[in-house]
Amino acid sequence: MATGFMTDTLFFWHDTGTAALMLPADPMAGVQPDAHVESGRTKRRGFELLDVTGLLDEMRRVRARPALIGELLRVHTDAYVQRVAQASAQPRGGDAGDGFTPLGRGSAEIARLAAGGVLDLVTAVASENLTNGFALVRPPGHHALAGAGLGFCVFNNAALAARHAQIQLGLRRVAIVDLDTHHGNGGQQLFYDDPTVLHISIHEAGSFPPDSGWIEETGAGAGEGYTINVPLPLGSGHAAWLYAMHQVVLPALQRFQPELIIVPVGFDGGCFEPLARQALVVDSYRQMASLLTKAADRLCDGRVVAISEGGYSSGMAPWCMVGFVEGLIGRNGSLSDPYAGITAGYAAAPMLPHQQHVVDRAARLVPRITATVSAD
């Protein structure tokens, strides 16, 4: 049994245009043209690092294929899918919603390819051909809503994966553990009243989207209690994130008894990350993946499907990805993290009381979860 790996060169060709960070270039307003912060560069470097470190050879490749329109419509509205297609057919592309989700020419097809590849990876893992899997995709997905793109995200790959597992593969309970450093608002909103999908997000408080991902957001109706947020304060690092894994994520999974764990994972929690202010190190990602893998071994035959989201430090994010994949494969710590000497001080930083307080508050929500729900 192997770990599956799904990517496609076209993912790196999704063209987000020229920008300063995420601001579309506007020279007369002082926004100097540069590569958009969510360009193909960082993830291409991640792919290359997986290759050079030999991790690529240890995984079994799953080919991408375009998601069917019917598959997209399990999560997204028809009007939105059409709008994305129309914008991306323009010679210079367009935007998927909020003005900060650029579509280049052909981006609709590339986004469909990412989503479809994720679904096939889920199928391969659920059918026990593969133990678990990692999808390296662009555009990312976890901010995307039913009817609009948001924050660089076009189609919500993780949400589509959850619905695919339920509708196509007959799984009842799916857990989404969102480890991007920004709130997994898209998945939260799509499953807010649904007790068959447990949605947990650890993220930086008060970051993106604005005013989103607070502890008080716990689900609605039948889904009350099946949304958990751990909004960590600025500067939270390895100890705080691992504490959240141990106090919130693992016990919540134990109670929920998922049949599949989907992990939208951004590599934007690193201590050199330009779009967030957390202080994770490469080993943080390795350990989080390892914990999820072990939990999945106990709960659901090892079924974890991780899907790349953000990550914008072209130097460090690729190494965070490598650390995470190492944890997924179970080859823990055999590769030497070249940043370790520099980040040792960050990793050793103790969890501060106000960080622990947030995790402890979120942990109090865990006992509300039960495994009794089914999709029937």
Interface contacts to Zn ion, rule CB under 5 A:
180, 182, 266, 268, 310
Q: Which amino acid is at 309?
A: E
Sorted by sequence, the CB contacts under 8 Å of residue 21 that are 6+ apart come out as 36, 37, 274, 275
The residue (of 258 and 266) whose beta carbon lies closer to Zn ion is: 266
Minimum distance, C-beta of residue 169 to Zn ion, in the bound complex (Å) = 28
The residue (of 321 and 369) whose beta carbon lies closer to Zn ion is: 321
Strands, E assignment, 136-182: 174-178
Paired tokens of 316: 């460090």
Minimum distance, C-beta of residue 127 to Zn ion, in the bound complex (Å) = 30
Rounded alpha-carbon distances, angstroms, from residue 237 to 168, 180, 214, 283, 352: 38, 14, 19, 11, 10
The residue (of 182 and 286) whose beta carbon lies closer to Zn ion is: 182
The residue (of 104 and 186) whose beta carbon lies closer to Zn ion is: 186
Length of the chain: 376
Q: Which residue is nearest to Zn ion (CB)?
A: 310
Minimum distance, C-beta of residue 369 to Zn ion, in the bound complex (Å) = 25
- Catalytic residue, chosen from 143, 164, 199, 238, is 143
How would DSSP label each residue in 208-219? SSTT---TT---
The answer to whether 188 and 217 have CB atoms below 8 angstroms apart is yes
Minimum distance, C-beta of residue 232 to Zn ion, in the bound complex (Å) = 13
The answer to whether 244 and 288 have CB atoms below 8 angstroms apart is no
Paired tokens of 135: 């999808």
Please give the order of strands across the beta sheet that includes 227-232: 59-62, 2-6, 130-135, 304-308, 260-265, 174-178, 197-204, 227-232
Minimum distance, C-beta of residue 336 to Zn ion, in the bound complex (Å) = 27
- How far is it, in rounded angstroms, from Cα 358 to Cα 240? 10
The residue (of 74 and 142) whose beta carbon lies closer to Zn ion is: 142
The helix or strand, by DSSP H or E, that contains position 261, with its residue range, turns out to be strand 260-265
Catalytic residue flag (residue 143): yes
The residue (of 45 and 294) whose beta carbon lies closer to Zn ion is: 45
* Half-sphere CA count of 209, side-chain side, radius 13 A: 20
Minimum distance, C-beta of residue 329 to Zn ion, in the bound complex (Å) = 23
Angle, nearest 10°, between helix axes 282-300 and 340-348? 70
Strands, E assignment, 184-226: 197-204
The residue (of 142 and 303) whose beta carbon lies closer to Zn ion is: 142
Give the long-range contacts of residues 166-170, CB within 8 A, separation 24 or more. 166/196, 166/197, 166/375, 167/74, 168/119, 168/123, 169/122, 169/123, 169/126, 169/127
Which backbone phi and psi does 146 adopt, to 5 degrees? Answer: -60, -40
Minimum distance, C-beta of residue 180 to Zn ion, in the bound complex (Å) = 4
Please choose, from the candidates 66, 38, 207, 64, the residue with its C-alpha nearest in 3D space to the C-alpha of residue 139: 38
Question: Hey, which residues are catalytic here?
Answer: 143
